A = this chain, B = another copy of it.
């Protein structure tokens, strides 16, 4: 029997054919509906056993539903699951309205959306929260360092963390000077390392030296993880692939900003005070226009 409706979900197919199902076939159908779709994603043997029926019963029933055999049924269920999970991601409301789909901006936005989504869903919340508390801890110094490309992110991090808390240091990207900083690192200090591919050997050495001195290391890296990971206490992976010769750091930036926002929230009363004083200083120097 061909599929009456090739786009129907298995659930719908079962409803549709329920009347023609035999007793033990219904037993399986119920078992599947009760735990949908997981109860149909194992092997026919296991699935049958869980439903309390024999394997031929299951095989016959899926054929009744219009599938060629159990594997066909299995594949169909899987596809449904896939569609459900990737549903929101596929939603492309980020298109640039007046450009064709193939315009770079649209290709780019799609890749970026994908990356952000991946990055977000791979953050371990608990780890994030603990890292935040560590970053807010002003008992120790906070060091920030980046590589060739990520230097800019380290700089951005520095600027913001400096506004939030005291005792922040940006280690310049010239690795020759790093030992000078390490000299003063003590237990309880925090070192934020940005390292995306191509990973820099110097950063790994730095991490090792810092770890030896009891410094807590927060690593922000790409999805493949820098070798620094072996020394790091907190690791955040950012998806960075875009259709281009280099890697995107938008998700890296997002993770960084999220960390900054969380740290700020953690230290709020103190931070507000700092912001106000900073504002007064700006007013005084008249370097900036008042925002209107």
Which A residues are within 8 Å of any B CB, using their own CB?
11-12, 15, 18-19, 26, 30, 33-36, 38-39, 41-42, 74-75, 78, 81-82, 85-86, 88-89, 93-99, 103-105, 108-109, 112-113, 116-118, 120-125, 128, 148-149, 151-153, 155-156, 159-160, 163, 197-202, 223-225, 227, 229-230, 235, 237, 242-246, 248-250, 253-254, 257-258, 260-262, 264-265, 271-272, 275, 282, 286-291
A117: B residues at CB distance < 8 A: 93-94
B125 touches A103 (CB 8 A): yes
Provide 23 A-B residue pairs closer than 8 Å at the C-beta atoms, listed in order of the A residue: A11-B122, A15-B124, A19-B225, A19-B230, A33-B122, A88-B93, A94-B121, A99-B125, A105-B120, A105-B258, A109-B254, A113-B116, A151-B155, A151-B159, A152-B153, A152-B156, A163-B246, A198-B282, A198-B291, A200-B289, A245-B272, A250-B253, A250-B257
Q: Considering the complex of A and B, which 7 residue pairs feature the smallest CB-CB distances, nearest first?
A: A152-B156, A99-B125, A38-B82, A198-B288, A94-B117, A152-B155, A19-B229
Inter-chain CA distance A261–B247, complex, in Å, is: 10
A245: B residues at CB distance < 8 A: 264, 271-272, 275
Inter-chain CA distance A16–B245, complex, in Å, is: 29
B41 touches A122 (CB 8 A): no
- Beta-carbon nearest neighbor of A289 in chain B: B199
Given A123-B96, A152-B152, A261-B104, A85 contacting B36 (CB threshold 8 A): yes
- Beta-carbon nearest neighbor of A74 in chain B: B42
Inter-chain CA distance A230–B15, complex, in Å, is: 12
B38 touches A78 (CB 8 A): yes
B125 touches A34 (CB 8 A): no
Inter-chain CA distance A160–B41, complex, in Å, is: 44
A262 touches B104 (CB 8 A): yes
B257 touches A108 (CB 8 A): yes
Inter-chain CA distance A121–B12, complex, in Å, is: 11
A128 touches B105 (CB 8 A): yes
Given A152-B155, A229-B19, A289 contacting B250 (CB threshold 8 A): no
A120 touches B148 (CB 8 A): no
A33: B residues at CB distance < 8 A: 118, 122
Pick the residue among B81, B96, B152, B290 that contacts A125 (CB under 8 A): B96
Inter-chain CA distance A89–B197, complex, in Å, is: 32
Q: Given A15-B124, A95-B120, 19 other A-B contacts at CB below 8 A?
A: A11-B122, A34-B118, A38-B85, A81-B81, A96-B120, A97-B121, A98-B125, A104-B258, A105-B262, A108-B258, A108-B261, A109-B254, A116-B116, A149-B159, A163-B246, A197-B291, A245-B264, A245-B271, A249-B257
- Nearest-Cβ distance from residue A40 to partner chain B, whole angstroms: 10
- Nearest-Cβ distance from residue A131 to partner chain B, whole angstroms: 12
